[in-house]
């Protein structure tokens, strides 16, 4: 065979492999093959803004994967809320697994690449209102729940994910 033809074929194969790898690794919605086990942790933060649009606002995230035909309940309780009973933070959900922060916190700017895929749950965590949602899926499915750290002082949230 002609060396130019062989070189062209090898170049095309390498290019296809690189493109496939890039698409796979850059996909933010990759689903871990192993479901998440129980979660039980507390996360804290302090902020001066309550908007995703401010790129530096601290954001808390909870990524998890549910096994087929299992039922898991996510609970987020504000154990310390700036503003007391007047303090609040909205809860958002992403249909995918996102874990690109540190210790379950990130900056809002880290989320900008997936911002259009993050949806409001229509729920606000308050000092006296716990966020609870049960997840049941027929197939392996991942989610990430987000909320910004409310302004006005230190905040602390207790997060659990338990089977129901």
Query: Is the domain covering 39-163 a CATH 2.60.120 domain?
Result: yes
| pLDDT band at 84; cut points 50, 70, 90 | confident
Q: What per-residue confidence (pLDDT) applies to 140?
A: 96
**In this predicted model, what pLDDT tens digit does every residue of 70-81 receive, in sequence order?**
999 999 999 999
CA distance 14 to 158: 48
Per-residue pLDDT averaged across 119-139, rounded? 95
**In this predicted model, what pLDDT tens digit does every residue of 137-161 receive, in sequence order?**
999 999 999 999 999 889 999 999 9
- Flag the least confident range among 19-23, 35-39, 107-111, 112-116: 19-23
* DSSP 8-state symbol, 43: E
Q: What per-residue confidence (pLDDT) applies to 24?
A: 42
Q: What per-residue confidence (pLDDT) applies to 10?
A: 53
Q: Which helix H or strand E contains 89, and what residues bound it? A: strand 88-94
* DSSP 8-state symbol, 128: T
- The residues pairing with 60 across neighbouring beta strands, listed in sequence order, are 105, 147
């Amino acid at each position: 065979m002609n060396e130019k033809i062989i070189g062209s074929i090898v170049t095309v194969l390498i290019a296809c492999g690189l493109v496939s790898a890039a698409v796979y690794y850059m996909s933010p919605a990759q689903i871990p093959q192993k479901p998440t086990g129980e979660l039980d942790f507390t996360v804290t933060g302090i902020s001066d803004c309550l908007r995703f649009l401010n790129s530096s606002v601290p954001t808390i995230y909870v990524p998890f994967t549910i096994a087929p035909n299992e039922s898991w309940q996510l609970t987020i309780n504000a154990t310390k809320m700036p503003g007391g009973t007047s303090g609040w933070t909205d809860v958002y959900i992403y249909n995918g697994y996102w874990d690109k922060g540190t210790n379950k916190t990130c900056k809002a700017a880290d989320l900008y690449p997936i911002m259009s895929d993050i949806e409001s749950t229509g729920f606000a965590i308050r000092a006296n209102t716990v966020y609870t949602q049960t997840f049941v899926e027929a197939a392996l499915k991942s989610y990430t729940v987000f909320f910004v750290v409310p302004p006005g002082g230190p905040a602390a949230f207790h997060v659990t994910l338990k089977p129901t």
